[in-house]
Amino acid sequence: MATVKIKLDTRRAKSNDTYNIIYKIRHLKKVHTINAGISVLKKHWNSTNSRVINSCPNAKSINLKLLNDYLALEKAILALDDEVTIEKLRLLIKGKTETQTSSFKTFTQQLIDEMLTTKNTGNALVYRTAMNRFLDFCKKDITFTEIDYVLLQKFENHLKLKGLKQNSISNYFRTIRAIYNKAIKHKLVDRSHYPFYDITIKSEQTAKRAISREDIKRLQSIELDEDSTASKSLKYFMLSFYLRGISFTDMAYLKASNINNGRILYNRRKTHKNYSIRLFKPAEAIIKSLQYENSSYLLPIINETLQEDSLEAKKVIKQWIKTTNKYLKRLSLELQSDSTITTYTARHSFATIAKRLGYSNELIAEALGHEYGNKTTAIYLDAFDTNKIDELHIAVIS
């Protein structure tokens, strides 16, 4: 059985020297805290009676709220018994009803907020897009128990009628399924309601994304106005290729501090894996041609005023990717290439060219930061020597 205590959280004072009042909940041998939404001076807190003293401003209303919240928490703990979760109790304090605590929108937004707090902006945007698309179809917020096989089938048909491709539909369904699985783990819905047992999430093989070495050389030889967006888009593509297929997002965040002894050292945002990439002359030349003098960033994609990994920064990068892909598509038409060139093409092309040059899948995977073969076995294997990866690198881009 969970227990509740009202405490003044004196670990950290706010800017006005007040401290937050919290509800301390011990449940399943773990201690959780819920912010009461009230902060007071330490001198106004009576720790013996767990209430503010009479001389505290608004003492009567504060103590009444604390008492009501305490009673509501105790009542919820008794009613829910083994199904009580800290998430349900937090929502209760925020004034949410039981229906709201199990609502798709409320819970998904909670997940999104947590992702934004941990700077997992990419996934936050994926979840938000899926949530908005699904709720737009439902035309209202719904509880998890209302999500069933019939509703999901109707949603799939709706997306098909809208002209969405199968892989886009699959992405929405995988995201909604992930949200539902998290809701089960948070005890917001019983597993017996799980609607995905009979839902097949199909994906289609995407068109070939790599281009040949000859196409890369032809791209290098295209003459463009140096100050044009087309020229800048081509430079971003070539820089990604020269840096072993670095993603556009990671490229956007590169700073002068990431360069050390002729290598670019960075942590990939998608996998949180550290990379060490040799900075060869072609890449160095592109960076010098694009970098602003007074910016700490190597490329003119985001500026100093934007907080890294914020939604605003993500939107700016996403717009740049969209613009870059638009001009790359035009260049692929000009080349009469079999593939439509996008920012992803650089990474796929690097790997494909390396393979055609006879390098092993293991070494290519190491160069791209992928795991190859059995994941458990890979833990015990030494990483390839940096020189071997550098040899592959220079062979591909030469």
DSSP string, 9-76: ETTS--TTSEEEEEEEEEETTEEEEEEEEEEEEGGGEETTTTEE-TTSTTHHHHHHHHHHHHHHHHHH
Beta bridge partners of 254: none
Residue 92's closest CA among 109, 69, 110?
Answer: 69
When mean pLDDT is compared over 139-148, 199-208, 258-267, the highest value belongs to: 258-267
Q: Which pTM does this prediction carry? A: 0.65
The pLDDT assigned to 117 comes to 84
Give me the residues paired with residue 281 across strands: none
Return the exposure string of 147-160: e unless at least 16 CB atoms fall within 10 Å of the residue's CB, then b.
beeeebeebbebbe
Give the pLDDT score at 371: 59
Tokens describing residue 210: 């790599």
Give the residues across from 325 on adjacent strands: none
Q: pLDDT tier at 28 (50, 70, 90 boundaries)?
A: confident
Task: Supply the pLDDT for residue 255.
Answer: 94
Mean pLDDT of 152-168: 94
Look at residue 379 in the predicted model and tell me its pLDDT.
Answer: 41
Q: What percent of the chain has pLDDT over 70?
A: 89
**pLDDT band at residue 33 using 50, 70 and 90 as cut-offs:** confident
Judged against a pLDDT cut of 60, whether residue 73 lies above it is answered with yes
As to burial, measured by CB atoms within 10 angstroms (0-12 exposed, 13-18 middle, 19+ buried), residue 313 is: buried
**Which is higher by pLDDT, 91 or 173?**
173
User: In Å, how far from its chain's centre is CA 221?
Assistant: 37
Q: How confident is the model at residue 83 (pLDDT cuts 50, 70, 90)?
A: low
Q: Which segments within the chain are labelled E, that is strand?
A: 3-9, 18-27, 30-41, 45-46, 51-52, 259-260, 263-267, 274-278
Give the Cα separation of 305 and 302 in Å (integer).
8
Indicate whether 183 pLDDT > 80.
yes
- Which domains, ranges and CATH numbers included, belong to the chain? 3-95 (no CATH), 104-193 (1.10.150), 213-397 (1.10.443.10)
79 or 141, greater pLDDT:
141
Residue 147 φ then ψ, to 5°: -85, 110
CA-wise closest residue to 35 among 23, 18, 49, 45: 23
**Whether the predicted pLDDT of 59 surpasses 80:** yes
Q: Write out pLDDT tens, residues 263-288.
A: 999 999 888 889 999 999 999 999 99
Give the model's confidence band at 351: pLDDT under 50 very low, under 70 low, under 90 confident, else very high: very high
Beta-bridge partners for 264: 259, 277
Average pLDDT over residues 24-32: 80
pLDDT at residue number 84: 56
Strand partners, 30: 27
pLDDT for res 120: 86
* Averaged pLDDT for residues 169-183: 95
Query: What's residue 378's pLDDT?
Result: 45
| Mean pLDDT of the chain, nearest integer | 87
pLDDT (0 to 100) of residue 374: 47
pLDDT digits (tens, 9 = 90+) for 196-217: 998 888 887 666 678 989 999 9
Task: Quick: pLDDT tens for 303-335.
Answer: 888 888 888 999 999 999 999 999 999 998 888
What lies within 8 Å, CB to CB, of 271 at 6+ separation is 369
Q: Could you give phi then psi for residue 74, rounded to 5 degrees?
A: -60, -45
* CB neighbours of residue 114 within 10 Å: 11
Q: Is 81 left (phi over 0), alpha (psi -120 to 50) or beta?
A: left
How far apart (Å, rounded) are the C-alpha atoms in residues 385 and 383?
6
